[in-house]
């Protein structure tokens, strides 16, 4: 990155983010996202994920520096308006994030592919439990998992839905994935698994007509799936920027020691 990077400002539609952007717009010269070296995103976690997903569909991938003008802000930095934005970016730590790619095939033969930055989840659509076969790298590891579903989470997503489902928190840079069941009925005591990021995970739905299952890649849903295959992709690796002492890794540590 150059000493004087070109910056693009992307702001959520929320009143809080729009108000916070007023002073920042006047404090720096901004360029379009396509011409920028770094994207500065104002809003909350949901808006940052939206921008990251949009970037995966663009012809370019740029480092992203988020400023929390939302609610939780787990993936964001604080405001600290007294420090120039160029200095904050120059001193920021870089965190690589590899998204998942979900390939889903429906019962009627249609095929879909979507990226997920947090997780891919399979969820039962009716009162009937879902019944899934679990394959890792082409090998059947579990012939039948019965329950509400299952998810595959990245390290970034391991503190989101995965954590609420009692899945493990994964350190950043671990290059691991969390495979976490959702309210498992059979086998009752199976708590999931930690997989290398290189693993290809595949689910096949048993009795899909009677027990329909939806697959969700972050916010993108495909209903009535028959098979779902999930891989991590290095070609679309993203980069998040964090202030020193305010890193995502530190927040992941904090999550593990909450009492």
Exposed / middle / buried, residue 132 (Cβ in 10 Å: 0-12, 13-18, 19+): buried
Which member of 4, 35, 45, 59 is catalytic?
Answer: 45
Q: What confidence score (pLDDT) does residue 90 get?
A: 92
Q: What confidence score (pLDDT) does residue 173 get?
A: 78
Is 233 labelled as part of a ligand binding site? no
* Per-residue pLDDT tens over the stretch 28-45: 899 999 999 999 999 998
What ranges make up the beta strands (E) of 57-167?
Answer: 64-68, 93-97, 100-106, 111-116, 119-124, 130-136, 139-153
Q: What is the pTM of this model?
A: 0.86
Q: At 1, is the pLDDT very low, low, confident or very high (cuts 50, 70, 90)?
A: very low
Q: What confidence score (pLDDT) does residue 35 get?
A: 94
Q: At 57, is the pLDDT very low, low, confident or very high (cuts 50, 70, 90)?
A: confident
Q: At 11, is the pLDDT very low, low, confident or very high (cuts 50, 70, 90)?
A: very high
Is 53 labelled as part of a ligand binding site? no
Compute the distance between CA of residue 100 and CA of residue 104 in angstroms, rounded to an integer.
13
Is 166 labelled as part of a ligand binding site? no
Is 118 labelled as part of a ligand binding site? yes
Q: What confidence score (pLDDT) does residue 258 get?
A: 67
pLDDT at 248 > cutoff 80:
no
Q: At 2, is the pLDDT very low, low, confident or very high (cuts 50, 70, 90)?
A: very low
How far, in whole angstroms, is CA 114 from its chain's centroid? 12
Is 218 labelled as part of a ligand binding site? no
Name, in order, each residue with C-beta under 8 angstroms of 116's C-beta and a sequence gap of 6 or more. Answer: 99, 100, 101, 102, 154, 157, 217, 218, 220
* Per-residue pLDDT tens over the stretch 151-197: 999 998 998 899 999 999 998 778 999 999 999 999 988 999 999 99
Residue 55: how many other CB atoms lie within 10 Å: 18
Q: Average pLDDT, whole number, for the chain?
A: 91
Compute the distance between CA of residue 99 and CA of residue 184 in angstroms, rounded to an integer.
26
What ranges make up the beta strands (E) of the chain?
Answer: 7-11, 38-43, 64-68, 93-97, 100-106, 111-116, 119-124, 130-136, 139-153, 176-186, 193-196, 201-205, 213-217, 220-222, 225-232, 238-242
How far, in whole angstroms, is CA 158 from its chain's centroid? 9
Q: Of 81-90, 194-203, 234-243, where does mean pLDDT reach its minimum?
A: 81-90
* Per-residue pLDDT tens over the stretch 115-152: 999 999 999 999 999 999 999 999 999 999 999 999 99
> In the sheet where 93-97 sits, what is the strand order?
7-11, 38-43, 64-68, 238-242, 93-97
Is 161 labelled as part of a ligand binding site? yes
Task: Give the domains, in start order, of the chain with CATH numbers.
Answer: 7-97+236-256 (3.40.50.10330), 100-232 (2.60.200.30)
- Stretch 240-251: mean pLDDT: 76
Do 7 and 34 form a contact (C-beta atoms < 8 A)? no
Do 3 and 35 form a contact (C-beta atoms < 8 A)? no
Between 253 and 148, the more confident residue is 148
| Whether residue 45 lies in the annotated active site | yes
Question: How long, in residues, is the chain?
Answer: 259
Is 45 labelled as part of a ligand binding site? yes
């Amino acid at each position: 990155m150059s000493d004087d990077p070109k910056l693009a400002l992307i702001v959520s539609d929320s009143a809080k983010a729009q108000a916070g952007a007023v002073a920042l717009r006047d404090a720096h010269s901004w360029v379009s996202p396509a011409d920028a070296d770094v994207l500065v995103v104002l809003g909350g976690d949901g808006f940052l994920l939206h921008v990251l997903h949009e970037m995966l569909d663009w012809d370019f991938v740029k480092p992203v520096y988020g400023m929390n003008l939302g609610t939780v802000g787990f993936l964001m930095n604080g405001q600290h308006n007294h420090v120039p934005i160029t200095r904050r970016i120059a001193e920021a730590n870089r965190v690589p994030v590899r998204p998942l790619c979900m390939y889903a095939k429906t019962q009627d033969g249609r095929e879909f592919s979507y990226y997920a930055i947090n997780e891919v989840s399979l969820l039962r659509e009716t009162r009937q439990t879902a019944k899934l076969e679990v394959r890792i790298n082409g090998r059947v590891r579990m012939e039948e998992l019965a329950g509400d579903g299952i998810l595959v989470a990245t390290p970034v997503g391991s503190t989101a839905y995965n954590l609420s489902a009692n899945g493990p928190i994964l350190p950043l840079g671990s290059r691991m994935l969390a495979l976490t069941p959702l309210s498992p009925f059979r086998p009752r005591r199976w708590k999931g698994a930690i997989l290398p990021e290189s693993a290809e995970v595949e689910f096949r739905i048993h009795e899909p007509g009677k027990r329909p299952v939806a697959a969700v890649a972050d916010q993108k849903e495909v209903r009535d799936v028959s098979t779902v295959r999930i891989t991590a992709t290095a070609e679309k690796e993203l980069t998040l920027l964090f202030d020193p002492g305010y890193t995502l890794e530190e927040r992941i540590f904090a999550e593990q020691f909450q009492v």
